Amino acid sequence: SSARHPEETHPRWLEIRRRENKTRIVHANILYDFAKGEENPNGHYANNKIKTTKYTVLSFLPKNLFEQFHRFANVYFVFIALLNFVPVVNAFQPELALAPVVFILSVTAIKDLWEDYRRHRSDKEINHMDCLVYSRAERRYVEKYWKEVRVGDFIRLRCNEILPADVLLLSSSDPDRLCHIETATLDGETNLKQRQIVRSFFDLDCDFNPMKYNSIIECEKPNNDLNRFRGYIIHRSGKRDALYKENLLLRGCTIRNTEEAVGIVIYAGHETKAMLNNNGPRYKRSKLERQMNLDVFWCVIILLVMCLFAAVGHGLWMFQYRDKRPVFDVLSPEGTDLSPIMSAIYLFLTMIIVFQVLIPISLFVSIEIVKICQVYFIHQDMDLYDEETDTHLQCRALNITEDLGQMQYIFSDKTGTLTENKMVFRRCTVAGVEYSHDANARRLAMYQEMDSEEEDCMSHGGTLPRRDSVTSHHSAPVVLRSQSTKSHRRTGSRAEAKRASILSKHTAFSSPMEKDITPDPQLLDKVNECSSQMDFMRFHSQPMSQLPSDLSDIIDFFVALTICNTVVVSSPNQPRQKVRMRFELKSPVKTIEDFIKRFTPSRLTSGSNSSSSSSLITNRSSNKGCSSMLSSPSAESTLTKLDEEQPRRGLEHSFSSTPPCYDGKALGLEESELRYEAESPDEAALVYAARAYKCSLVGRLPDQVTVELPHLGKLSFELLHTLGFDSTRKRMSVVVRHPLTDQITVYTKGADSVIMDLITPPNTGKRQKKIVCRTQNYLNLYAADGLRTLCIAKKTLSKDEYACWLQRHLEAETAIQGREELLFESALRLETDLHLLGATGIEDRLQDGVPETIASLRKAGLQIWVLTGDKQETAVNIAYACKLLDPEEEILTLNADSQEACALLLEESLHYIQAKYLCSSTEQSAKAIHTNFPPFEIYPSSSPSSHTVPFMVHRLGLVIDGRTLAYALDKSLEDKFLAVARSCRSVLCCRSTPLQKSMVVKLVRNKLKVMTLAIGDGANDVSMIQVADVGVGISGQEGMQAVMASDFALPRFRYLQKLLLVHGHWCYSRLANMILYFFYKNAMFVALIFWYQFYCGFSGSAMIDQWYLIFFNLMFSAFPQLITGTLDKDASAETLQQLPQLYMTGQNSEEYKPYMFWMNMIDAFYQSLVCFFIPYFAYADSDVDLFTWGTPITTLALFTILLHLGIETKTWTWMNWLFIAFSIALFFTVALCYNACCPTCYSPSNPYWTIQRLLQDPLFYLLCVITPVTALLPRYFYRACQGTLFPSPVQVGRQLDKLPAETRKNILSLSRVKMGSPLSAKPPFLSLTKPSPESFIKKDQKSFPSSKASQAKQAEEERPQRGLPRHTDSEKGFPGIYTIVPTEVDTLPYTKDTPSLSREHMPPSNKDSEFLDKTLEPSDQSLSSWITSTPLLTQVDSVQLTLPPDGDSQCVKYMRNSEERLKSDDNIHPAHRTEQVLEQSLHTTL
């Protein structure tokens, strides 16, 4: 008989059944081992077999065809082919007409089949991995394949094993009832996470026995939220225990540091969270493809017009015979005459078949082939490979490569994208005293990771056992590990899984730069003095309260750094092996074991503790509050036990038996090598900083943290609670019992913006007031220096206060409804009236090449916005460091507290921009700005401000904080915000949430109709990446979530430059030209038949053999353009990178304008006329048959089309020559064979020996020379004139490529080449000069010559110094000569002693322009006309828009604080404000 569940009679069971449609009920399978079908309540849940393939053997053909017919073109071609089977209208042999469409569909089907087969192989590999499942029959765990696992099975997990499904943790071999997992393959994060067994199984004394399990689990339905799991476990007694995400182990994670764990499967197969997150690559349509579809529509219109024209012509032609039936007329199937109208209708359909080639059938397949080849070549670019992380660029979306060449706006995250996300402890302030850590600053300045190889060796050596386990194949479990590393994961590519396994060999955030902190000698002395005093007091049993407050603050500061975190300690000799040090506390509190167990916290696995919201947002907790505390049994018993505590017997028992060290070197070799597995880089940086002062974290257990202090040896802090970090509170706290004072102490660290508000009111003491004031000043300094700031504070609780808080906290923990809100309030109650200890400044270093990349992208006409969660001061300084903001830019800072204030600020900003730039500026200065930035001619939708003026980018920076941004994104203000923001050269949004980031991107994309690219590296950037036209993920330190959501994944931000400026430009240029060429080629070929209709009574017959008609586009002329589309380069990579302005051709869609399609069509019709009528007149009076005249036309069309491609090809390789030769050879081979062996294939026509006869005829060879030349002369003439007289920037770049290497190098490297307006007698750069610091003019008079003539003269004088040859008479005729005319650059020289800025403009003299005219010969205009330097209007004020208090009149004050800002920046930021000498910008002419 089938087993019955013990609970089925229980009334609760019925209630559960009713709720099952909203939640999932999981029973243990062993109770239903013999149940059949529906009797097993878990029977209807998904099994663990995964299938990511699209097709089965049976469904492949229908399903694939159905997918392909989603493409309108394919439906059209099948319709035409089927139409050809209708006898009345058929034009070709029906079977032959099917050939092209069958070929196209087959190629696509084979590609899809191959991709699906690879997925099938991968699935099979995963489904056949082993795991241990409990069998009731055998009363033990037996090996089963992953695919055989079911919901409700008990699974035993071993160390280094990968989880086969989502498992609820019920038992662990770890004495602390923890299980450590690594999620590298899920999100790329290599640090360990802790998971805890379910509360009710915590007190099991023996091993977990599945046979005794009789509970029911009720949890939420399967969903894709990795950071949330809610549910209850209902025991037989009716008692319920809450389940959290800390109890759930997710499929794809790896067990670490835990010998064995047992759990029950909750979600399996496609219902696991990892699989629900696997959406696969996204299909996006590129801008070019959308444009192309419009032109395909025009082709259809042209086709219908031609067919209609032919049909009307045929009808009229038939009509003229009236009743006299022409001899050649064919009767209808019934034997009756066809009326002219019916004939016309039939002919219309026939002509559609004949002219079908006008719609390019092979274009779509060719584009797919070319895109795959382009992706392959991008992958192969070694410049985009990062050796340090062993990662290549990944193209995850294959169909939008050309969009990379058309970007207009870039939205970037800051932390981890522009910066390294390597947090380095830089300086700190303790008790109001600042310790500058100068030696540490010098170490960082000198630091270059030249020893990265050595570092690799160390980390590899340290993890040798793990390394072997991945690479060796000696034992079965090892093979299992290696296979699973490769492919267990369906959330991304194998490359990601491989990378994750490589990453997992290293401890995160532990490079020498981050670890080896040089302590400040003054602070180190104080730490030693303090600890020795404490040791003395301990020895003499004196109370610790006698310690001077400044010293006790210092030791508390470092204790807080050491214990207020979730860092896991591991030892290097056994990688990922947790260090265990439990110290027997002889005090009565340890005897109350239940009390200890009651406070076993589970930590928020994502608990980062950085001050920046970018980390706050990445906090992978979706809970509002501190959901990290587990529920505890009843509060009453706890409080009773608290009251039972007896006074301590003495402090000496709190310490370990190891003798304390008195030599100041508390750290032995063993501890110094301990590894810290931190969850965020900030956390690691602070623990390493404390270790530098000999305050080391040496062990962490759920209820205890062990710290080693100088002189005092190892101390064990009893850990009572951990209040995890969350993005609302922006802080983290630990509640501990201090081993020296026996007091209950709260240590808190968090963002300065929140901690400073929680400090005890200053009126409590003069000293505290002074400390708070000084600390605030230092915090401002740190932020101005671009450092990330954190405040450290503490609070001591009396026993009564703690008992009172604890009671309410336990009530919150055990609450069923609104638990998160209650726990959040509980944390807020505890974290008040704090005592400030100090603050830290952590440096997040800029990635290599970021300033250069931003400068380059900006020259390319890209607008760059940075959206960050960091505080305003830090973000602004990083923005200056990475050249996003310039020192001489005006900064508009928008900070508002209400919607009305924000509206007013935006209004005033608009007025200010109008007044400053639109009214006061002369037309010429406006022009100067206009020429420097590509004007996107976009009119604001609603802002009245610039109705009449096309939008221009000004020399302005906009800084806006999160709160103001929230108001600005409101429907009523978004247009104003956009009007202000797009007038600014750079925009910096601080303290922005992930949702705000995506809203900003969406607003710009939809309102301005521009192409947007978003780049980020963390989970907080995912929404922004998905909203943008192109999403780029950085595979950095924050895991793989951004990468998994992106279209392209880059190892470093600097690679974006080459990806866009080179590969993006090439892909766009190639595809645009290829599409235009396809339209031309097909139209030209079809038009030949159209002209013949005038000579055959519009009867739909053709002078070209149907074999040639069908296969001309498919075979004879298909290959050369594939090569051109894949390999053609309109300029070299070097030129494109050194002249970023060339990128603008893609932004403005200059390679594919609507008029180009029509020009191509006109050219096609002209060429077809030539190819038709020259042979027509050549053979006019001869007696040649139709095909003897038609075959030369086909041959001439082929030659013309291939030569046309030759004219359009920019880069010739051996493959271009080979495939053009191959196409011609293929045509003649097919023609010779076909004409020789197919005399009566399609009677009555007879193509026998046609081509053989033609090849003996001299006229044929003459035609082959004259016709293509005549046909292509206009195009060649146009290209020659345009390239010589009006060259486009890209053509100039191509001319540069043709110069001798040395000459080109000099032009590119020595000149600051900028795109400006075409050179005229008075170019913009002659009439505008820079405002320049007076002191600078006095200091270095020759930098600012009074006239341009003297500048040129000075350039001649400086030539020898620059290593440039002087011009000699003999060189004048040499085309490689270039004259150098210096102009001021567009970055103001910045000196440390800049007291004031002159506003005088030096008027241009007529002599100067005359001189320049003489300098430039007419022949030099080609390069000089655009390689000019056009300075922007520079302003050097920072405009702070602030609203007066309510009492004041509502006007806006403009506070000009440029000098103060420059000075303060100079003091604070010596690294980024170096004294610059004015560069001589070189004006080059060829």
End-to-end alpha carbon distance in the chain:
97
Q: Is 869 marked within a binding site? A: yes
Q: Nearest to residue 284, comparing CAs of 1052, 1054, 1005, 1125?
A: 1005
The verdict on whether residue 788 carries a ligand-binding annotation is yes
Asked whether residue 800 is marked as a ligand-binding residue, the answer is: no
Instruction: Give the contacts of 608 (CB within 8 A, at least 6 positions apart).
Output: 615, 616, 618, 619, 679, 680, 682, 683, 725
Nearest to 166 by CA among 176, 180, 153, 184: 153
Query: Is residue 1021 marked as binding?
Result: yes
Catalytic residue among 153, 413, 703, 1029: 413
Q: Rounded to the nearest 10 degrees, what angle do helices 549-563 and 681-692 cross at?
A: 130
State yes or no: 725 annotated in a binding site. yes
**Residue 498 labeled ligand binder:** no
Per-residue buried b or exposed e for 226-259, using 16+ beta carbons within 10 Å of the residue's own CB: bebbbbbbbeeeeebbbbbbbbbbbbbbbbbbbe
Q: Is 1250 exposed, middle or buried (0-12, 13-18, 19+ CB in 10 A)?
A: buried
1457 is in an annotated binding site: no
Distance between CA atoms of residues 651 and 648, nearest Å: 7
Q: Any known ligand binding at 1185?
A: no
What kind and span of H or E run contains 904? helix 899-913
How many Å apart are CA 726 and CA 192, to the nearest integer?
19
Record the tokens describing residue 1090, joined without a space. 């159209």
**Phi, psi (rounded to 5 degrees) for 539:** -60, -40
Confirm or deny that 166 is annotated as ligand binding.
Answer: no
CA 179, CA 183: separation in Å to the nearest integer? 13
Helices (H), 320-383: 340-354, 361-380
- Report strand pairing: 154-158 vs 166-172: unpaired
Residue 413, annotated as binding a ligand: yes
CB distance 300 to 72 below 8 Å: no
Asked if 1322 and 1404 count as a contact pair (C-beta separation under 8 A), the reply is yes
Classify burial at 1274, counting beta carbons within 10 Å of its beta carbon; exposed 0-12, middle 13-18, buried 19 or more: middle
* Spatial contact of 296 and 359, defined as CB atoms under 8 Å apart: yes
The answer to whether 683 is annotated as binding is yes
Residue 176 among the catalytic residues: no
Residue 1203 structure tokens = 């030569």
Query: 788: closest CA among 560, 614, 611, 960?
Result: 611
- CA nearest 486: which of 473, 474, 475? 473
Distance, CA of 723 to CA of 623 (rounded, Å)? 13
- Residue 379 to residues 375, 502, 703: CA-CA distances in angstroms? 6, 20, 50
The whole-angstrom separation of Cα 1174 and Cα 1266 is 9
94-127 and 361-380 helices, crossing angle to 10°: 40
On whether 42 is known to bind a ligand per the annotation, the reply is no
- DSSP E strand boundaries for 418-495: 419-430, 433-435
Distance CA 710, CA 545 (A): 19
CA distance 941 to 1290: 34
Give the side-chain half-sphere CA count within 13 A for 164: 34
* SS3 (DSSP) at 434: strand
**Rounded distance, CA 1394 to CA 1463, Å?**
8
Annotated binding residue 594: no
Give me 1323's structure tokens: 């170019």
* Burial zone of 543 (CB within 10 Å; 0-12 exposed, 13-18 middle, 19+ buried): exposed
Beta carbons within 8 Å of 460's beta carbon, 6+ residues apart: 467, 505
For residue 878, give both structure tokens.
């990083």
Active site residues: 413
Where is the binding site, in residues?
413-415, 683, 725, 749, 788, 868-870, 991, 997, 1017, 1020-1021
Where is the binding site for Mg(2+), in residues?
413, 415, 1017, 1021
Where is the binding site for ATP, in residues?
413-415, 683, 725, 749, 788, 868-870, 991, 997, 1020-1021
